[in-house]
Structure 1
Amino acid sequence: MAAARVLARGVRLGSYSIGRSRSLIFNTVQGRGIAACIDPSIGLTDEQKDFQKVAFDFAANEMAPHMAEWDLKEIFPVEAMRKAAQLGFGGIYVNPDVGGSGLSRLDTSIIFEALSTGCVSTTAYISIHNMCAWMIDTFGNNEQREKFCPDLCAMQKFASYCLTEPGSGSDAASLLTSATLQGDHYILNGSKAFISGGGDTDVYVVMCRTGGKGPKGISCLVVEKGTPGLSFGKKEKKVGWNSQPTRAVIFEDCAVPVINRLGAEGEGFSIAMKGLNGGRINIASCSLGAAHASVLLARDHMCVRKQFGETLSNSQFLQFKLAEMATKLVASRLLVRQAAVALQEGRPEAVSLCSMAKLFVTDECFSICNQALQIHGGYGYLKDYAVQQYVRDIRVHQILEGTNEVMRMIIARSLLTES
């Protein structure tokens, strides 16, 4: 039923005309010319294939034609994202009773992979927004769910996740932003760094310290834009992810109602980590889309570019490189989908698998995109060619949602404690 609802919303956007904007893969995602061995629809149900096609179509027609402009002019594409929300992509794994699509983690991964072929940066923000909406839906009470989730799912309002601080990145449990209880309000003081959407979004899911040191002293508050004492730093200049603004979020005697706390005091760190487990799958899925597009771009370039009297496709060295790229892509996709199913089913190995997926997939997909740029030679370094934007946009995936070094720590800890 949830998939049918997504598809029904998609029909209202009308039929799409498929173009060749910036040599992207839009002809192949319609089923023409895609190599069967890397087909992202392999193993999916008919329903999953249907909403995957909706996502690919949306990426091809509503995102990719604007991808370069959004990047160059640093445009936060609000209207495009609201069109995506009409397809059910504003609250993909949020419950339907508050406006969500009620899809699974695997379904979500499929959608984000498809969308990111059109614009990684925008899709990555949509994934963060979805994570915030899910956190409110999952850990909020009925009043909180009904207040925030419908507008978030429709993307009439946008959300940001606020965990990282200037002095606490990988060591998230050492955060210093404080929330002191005064009557029926918490008084927040401190700042958050590198916040996607910061300043342009409406709802901030904030981890703050209400108790002593360590993770058990952390709580989670929902702070609404316009709250006195809430302000923002300058817009950061970034290598990639330019279609979403990044700013510091600053709290100076910011009074937040107690009724905006998610869960009980001291549960904030647990809520944050549970959100990140899904976020790691989401961001790995965005890397998959970039890598999938880059493999096809590299293949197409090899078939037309001539050097030494013949096309690059006749070079066995480059044939082997392309084969390695395709193999890494498929292996990455399988790992992401296994982790997504484990998380959906609440299996004990889910945290480790999410960390493995984030580690392996973001590393390997960056390697794929970087190799695709190399195959393009000097052309790959020009902003007229999409491959360089995929490289820039997914480089940060190895850093955020927990650095890949932290992913290694989580995986190793799991292995050693089970020995």
Structure 2
Amino acid sequence: MTVEIRVPALGESVTEATVGQWFKSVGDAVEKDEPLLELETDKVTLEVNAAESGRLDEIIVAEGEDVEVGALLGHLAAGAGGAASKPAKEEPKEEPKEKSEPTAKASPEPEAEPEKPSSGSAAVDVLPAAQKLIDEKGLDAGQITGTGKDGRITKGDVLEALENGGKSAAASTPKEAPKPAAAEAPAAPSGLRAEEDREERVKMSRLRKSIAARLKDAQNTAAMLTTYNEVDMTAMLDLRSEYKDLFLKKHGVKLGFMSFFTKACVAALQETPAVNAEIDGDDLVYKNYYNMGIAVGTDSGLVVPVLRDADKLGFADVEKGIADLGKKARDGKLSMADMQGGTFTITNGGVYGSLMSSPILNPPQAGVLGMHKIQERPMVVKGEIKIRPMMYLALTYDHRIIDGKEAVTFLVRVKDALEDPQRLLLDL
């Protein structure tokens, strides 16, 4: 029986996706519910699983191609035929998982397969110019470390391997004496890469295009303004240090900074509701719920999963929720529901070492708080100079909705709550 593999429903307002990667090649055995491929949308990456056990019979849409909801992606041969072929396919089946190159076999260009085995490293991704040189020199691509995107081996990598003694595999061609001289010519100018390897053109992912469009739209549409303040982290660090072991023992999760900042923002939003509002046509919509977007950096780009009803969560629930969302983001497992409905966003550039920055709004939200690196600085405390762990805070807000008074009030309330964290516990 032949089973069609189609693009599933992608979520509200999402009609297109890009085929990111096929995990299986034509002829590979698959189990029911095993991932076959991943689809990249403008918000998340989704996996398409096998509806039945059997064998992947045909791949219709290659990696990098755009598809609409319901489009046919391939065919699966279900039943005894697929199951019977599974033992013979167990070894090759591991190659796509380790090297992420299933589409080499699924490609409509059969000539692409025989070229790589000639170097003895079929699973290594080698650029054409590099493959030609590897074949000429009789090298083993598996002995060369690629520096191109996703670990691809460039011609420069092959030349560098030759310079650094990577000629052991070339023993099979001892009579090619003139060729080492030819290899020295491009490597002569102080180790510069060959001209064709100096740049690499890669198609933007759908997520990256979406990020670019949304951020530019925010700049073009909102009247963005940023106000700054600084917070003395002494009291919060002391409180965290005192109770972190008990907190971990009782709740099974570490007491981090994000729970303090999330609760401080919720308290400040309750006092300044304009920061938790958005514009809808000619109306201002004030939200009486507090869904906190937590910006997470991933290999694919910046995503903002949403921690829902943060005002109803305790510190432990906030930490667990953020940890779960962060893991799902890094593993590419976020759902559309995880990304929707945020009313305010927190972004932490401090984890990368940023001392100060101006975050960009996450439309249609009216405010975003930027956290930064904690740095010890001399501060005047009651007439004396003290060394204090300080952090700069930045609130970017939409001036169409929020006046300067409300923005400054919000940031001061966040500062007060963090410098005296008992206020959060007493709801002050």
User: TM-score, structure 1 length as denominator?
Assistant: 0.26
Q: Comparing both structures, which one devotes a greater share of its residues to strand?
A: 2
State which structure, 1 or 2, has the greater radius of gyration over its C-alpha atoms. 2
Q: Comparing both structures, which one devotes a greater share of its residues to helix?
A: 1
